[in-house]
Chains A and B, each alone.
Chain A
Amino acid sequence: MDTLLRLEDLTMHYKTKAGWVQAIDGVSFSLDKGQSLGLVGESGCGKTSIAMSIMRLLPYNAQLVKGRILFGGRNLYALSDEEVRQLRWKEVAMIFQAAMNSLNPVYSVGNQIIEAIVTHEPETGEDEARERVESLFELVGIPKERMDHYPHEYSGGMKQRAVIAMALACNPSLIIADEPTTALDVIVQDKILREIEDIRRKINMSMIYISHDVSVIAEVSDVVGVMYAGKLLELGPADDVFKRPKNPYTYSLMHAYPSILGEKHDLVTIPGEPPNLLDPPTGCRFHPRCDWATKECGETAPLWREITEGHYLACHNPIRTKQGKSCKQQKTAKGGDVIDTSDGN
């Protein structure tokens, strides 16, 4: 499989009155065609920033410090604005966090999608575009006669679907879904997620899911990346990462959420708060909150290394399954159980 998107040591900072906010710090990963990547982490850890960097939609005070983003081999940040504009949606589309507000209230939903199509494929005529939208609506399950209705006449779920339809409009090779379902209730959430997955599989395109909700990510992504305070801590095949989490943060993050299968297990809450990115802690950014933290963690930042095939990690002393009889170990055991059972079905 050839890689579609590659982030190389991406480092992006925001300039504020208070100083530089180190929103993304040395993040690298790559994404293959047809693959789906899930980025998980507490809110404010830089997930969305990454999405925006890929879309090149960063606010005026953002600055690319180092690293680059290669999309289909082209360096996004070497392209002209115009080229990027044409790239957007045609190649990289996005499903926004707040689907509710990402539709213009004064135009009919249909028109807004048609607009996207005709902008990127000038040769397609009005009617052709319309037909395509209709089929898209069918695909995402909205009655096509709702096309000419205005956003405020849609229900939350429908809007969400509409937004998805819009993202698919120019069948891009990559869709970034930023918290695609947070606004919805769990049932709809689940439904929509599955639909997205089906569609994705059908037309074999790549996808980046962004969510603070492990369960969501667990459900839909082949590869999982765990972010913390602007850094990527762990990245690897979903089952691998979820079965055998190496990074303590991944571990506690997993247990900070109820399993979507509703299995009972006591939640581990992570003590303390995410660090202030104006001056993040030295060494490993997670160490102040880490139970495994050693002296070393506070001094030198852990390297980003590949531990097993396709499984990357940045940690000085990752969790080992042998490691013994401590209270932590029980937790692990328990955690282990959970995972095993979950693995069972």
Chain B
Amino acid sequence: MRRYVFGRLGQVILTLLIYVTLVYFLMQAMPGDITMMYLSNPKIPQAAREELRKQLGLDQSLFMQYFSYMKNFFRGELGVSFSQYPKPVWDILMEKLPRTFVLFLTANVLSFYIGFVLGKVIAWRRGRAIDYAATVVGITFWTAFYPLLALVVIWLFAYNLKWLPLNQFIDPRLWSTAPFTANQVFGNMVSGAAIVAIGIFLISYYLLRGLKPSRRSRVYAWSLAAALVAAVLVIAARKGMLIYIWDITRHMILPVLTLTLINFAGTMLLMRDSMLETVQEDYVLAARAKGLPDHVVRDRYAARTALLPTVTSLVLSLASSMSGGMVTETMFSWPGLGQTLFTAALSNDYPLATGALAFTGIFLLIAHFIADILYAVLDPRITYTGQSDV
């Protein structure tokens, strides 16, 4: 295992190096640079433009720029933003990360869960009406024109029915007097969610362990879980954060809904396929022969082993959505990494754009890594030895 991990790590770093280099030169190859904004105002003398070039180090040769960039990169600095000179790119990204993270984590987990359940069901009912219906509907959403769908959803639920807040991720009227920043709240939300998740996992692990937990232990589990959630909420309330968390949640619903609509089909179809393979396994037949109830055979035998590939897909999609949210974030006025990347590109802010892309790259690499480990955890058959390409 260790040898595997190290081998993999080496690979990761090499890949990252090449990736960043590619991104960097790609950006440099683009026409125009930030100083072109001075062209919009004739009163700005040429001298000023030269000065700016000097400040941003654009007067140096491309390779000098590249090397200094790389040097910084491995010191963990992503350079200084042009459009927000002299603000470090890292700070800007860190400021955006929590929002993007919370939104897409929620959306991905939800759409994954729905996709997983649906896929399970339609694979089990394969060939029946529900199978076709779900597949067709799923594909239609999967291939729906996303920006349009987003607009329609907003128009329908927020504008026409007035059910949910229009856009943005918080309501300024509430927040204008907020004692803390949105990012603090996001941070607390993440940690809170984590606590609840882990808590519930442990509860279900210890109390609902085994195959047929007694009613008593189930009641315990439930009440404990509920208590945990309540506790977390109370803490939030004591901090005076509850209302703000609530506000953010309200604003999250629409984007999450849209993302889920778009994405659930991916998991669903993947789940369906991999489950169609597992249902033909002998142990599924054996399980039925054992006289296990239908849903047990489905969930614990067919689905459980079919889960593996879909989990990897979840991890990867999570990572890629760290920047894939460009459309969502623009449509829902949800300023995150994606939007930053877009505006950076539009304003020729190479360091920021490069930084954002590199950042995603790192995220994805880590995700791949985690995915492999997860695989090993979920499937007892896999044990990692020297060779790395699994």
Contact = CB atoms under 8 A, between A and B. Distances in A.
| Direct A–B contact in the complex, CB atoms closer than 8 angstroms | yes
Interface of A: 55, 57, 84-90, 93-94, 96-98, 101-107, 111, 114-116, 118-120, 122, 125-126, 150, 152, 166
B291 A96 contact: no
B282 A111 contact: no
B380 A85 contact: no
A166 B292 CA distance: 13
A7 to B, nearest CB: 18
Given A57-B288, A96-B285, A111-B211, A105 B379 contact: yes
Contact of B286 (A103, A105, A114, A152): A103
Using C-beta atoms within 8 Å of the partner chain, give the interface range for chain B.
20 to 34
Contacts of B301: 104
21 contacts: A84-B291, A87-B291, A88-B289, A94-B289, A96-B285, A96-B286, A96-B289, A98-B282, A101-B282, A101-B283, A102-B282, A103-B286, A104-B304, A105-B379, A107-B300, A111-B210, A115-B300, A118-B212, A119-B290, A119-B292, A150-B381
Nearest to B282: A101
B83 to A, nearest CB: 51
Given A96-B289, A104-B304, A152-B381, 15 more contacts: A55-B289, A57-B285, A89-B289, A96-B285, A101-B281, A102-B286, A104-B287, A105-B379, A107-B300, A114-B210, A115-B290, A115-B292, A120-B291, A122-B212, A126-B210
Given A106-B304, A122-B212, A116 B285 contact: no
Contacts of A97: 282
Contacts of B287: 104
A98 B301 CA distance: 17
Given A119-B292, A119-B293, A152-B381, A105 B305 contact: yes
A93 B292 CA distance: 12
A202 B237 CA distance: 67
Interface in B287-345: 287-293, 296, 300-301, 304-305
Contacts of A115: 211, 290, 292, 296, 300
B252 to A, nearest CB: 34
B379 A96 contact: no
A86 B293 CA distance: 9
Given A105-B305, A126-B210, A152-B380, A119 B285 contact: no
Interface string B187-222: 000000000000000000000001110100000000
A102 B291 contact: no
Interface string B261-287: 000000000000000000001110111
A106 B379 contact: yes
A94 B293 CA distance: 17
Contact of A85 (B281, B293, B305, B381): B293
A109 B289 CA distance: 16
B294 to A, nearest CB: 8
Contacts of A111: 210-211
B283 A104 contact: yes
A261 B290 CA distance: 36
Contacts of A57: 285, 288-289
B283 A114 contact: no
A120 B378 CA distance: 28
B290 A96 contact: no
A77 B98 CA distance: 60
A152 B383 CA distance: 11
A88 B291 contact: yes
Contacts of B282: 96-98, 101-102
B221 to A, nearest CB: 15
A106 B300 CA distance: 9
Contacts of B300: 104, 107, 115
A152 B283 CA distance: 13
Nearest to A97: B282
Interface string B371-384: 00000001111000
Nearest to B292: A119
Nearest to A81: B294
A57 B288 CA distance: 8
Given A90-B291, A105-B305, A116-B290, A150 B380 contact: yes
A119 B305 contact: no
A284 B266 CA distance: 55
B268 to A, nearest CB: 22
Nearest to B383: A152
A119 B212 contact: yes
A102 B284 CA distance: 7
A118 B211 contact: yes
Contacts of A150: 380-381
A200 B352 CA distance: 76
A144 B283 CA distance: 22
Identify the interface centre among B286, B293, B301, B379: most chain A CB within 10 Å of its CB: B286
A101 B283 CA distance: 6
A105 B291 contact: no
